[in-house]
Amino acid sequence: MRIVLLGYGKMGKVIEGIALERGHEIVGRIDETNRADFASFSPATADVVIEFSHPTAALQNLKDSIGQGLPTVCGTTGWLEHRSEIEALTAKTSGAFFYASNYSIGVNLFFRLNQQLAKLISPYSEYQVEMTEIHHIHKKDAPSGTAITLAEGILEVNNRLSQWALEEGDGRSTLPIKALREGEVPGTHVVTYESAVDSIEIKHTAHNRQGFALGAVVAAEWLVGKVGVFGMDDLLGV
């Protein structure tokens, strides 16, 4: 499989290593220093694009990649207010687009555990919920895409909660998300339910970037040859 890495920071380099280990070829390594070179890629020269860049660059990256007829796997967060635009472009071009806020298999299992716990607790109004996410100091968006996915999973099954808010909320009608940036932390997410008599907490801690990178490469392998918009539920068959 011929892969173009659109975004070649720390994550891009880890993805590169895993892709090479799995027998793939990296035909392009694109970052801000050689962004114009990306225009030369097409289905004749590349099989798939893996996009891990920056929230401010992601939208144009995706427009270009999908517009050039390249199946695209995206892991950049912080641009999702434009997601409908990218999905419409994918449909218009009969393209293939795969997005996940987190490509770790463990995190995606955690998403399901989170929603099941939220559903069980929903009838018990004595429990207030809050979330904390911790990432490295280089992460630009807050809260993380993973935290937003967790929050949306809770809101979907808890009728008492109407929204989430960064750093604000009472845990009864608004779900507060605390976003901390510390050192080189790959990613930690904690969901806590607190009552006067006890606390319930679920937590996922990433030890490194390997799980995210492997998931992205597996998603790219899965996406090639398909048409449409996909996510981790499609890949995992759930």
Binding site per annotation, positions for NAD(+): 32, 75-77, 100-103
Which residues carry a binding-site annotation for (S)-2,3,4,5-tetrahydrodipicolinate? 136, 145-146
The residues assigned a catalytic role are 135, 139
Which residues carry a binding-site annotation for NADP(+)? 35
**Number of other CB atoms surrounding residue 205 within 10 Å:** 12
Closest among 107, 77, 130 to 207, alpha carbons compared: 107
| Pair 6, 61: CB distance under 8 Å | yes
Q: What span, in angstroms and rounded, lies between the C-alpha atoms of 148 and 154? A: 10
Cβ neighbours of residue 35 closer than 8 Å, sequence gap 6 or more: none
Which residues carry a binding-site annotation? 32, 35, 75-77, 100-103, 136, 145-146
Closest among 134, 100, 87 to 229, alpha carbons compared: 87
